[in-house]
Amino acid sequence: QVQFVESGGGLVQSGGSLRLSCVVSRSIFTIYNMGWYRQASGKQRELVASITITDNTEYTDSVKGRFTVSRDNAKNTAYLQMNNLKPEDTAVYYCNTPTYLRVWGQGTLVTVSS
């Protein structure tokens, strides 16, 4: 079974930075695009950033210029560098494979205080 293990969340002040990590089962990491999602309290889960196996990236408008997604195939790990964080970025962040959603991991909580 594929597993996603997210980490790196925490409490940060507005304008601060965090780097999230997602370790993925080796069996799929090198053959699937990866996506970072977030779910704020009372809202639907949304895709905020994605990276293909050839390192092409896409971002939702609200995070463009602030978030950077990357991947390290040798470590089966995807990253989300988040800069200039805003209170509206507060959410639980998850990773998954956008082209074929799998069982979600536990996620990592990001809280941005104003």
Q: What is the pLDDT of residues 52-88, one digit of tens each?
A: 999 999 999 999 999 999 999 899 999 999 999 999 9
Burial level of 40, CB count in 10 A (0-12/13-18/19+)? middle
Q: Helices (DSSP H) in the chain: which residue ranges?
A: 26-29
Whole-number average pLDDT of the chain: 95
- Whether the CB-CB separation of 105 and 4 falls below 8 Å is answered with yes
Q: And the tokens for 75?
A: 């470590």
Bigger pLDDT: 92 or 100? Answer: 92
Assess whether pLDDT exceeds 90 at residue 113.
Answer: yes
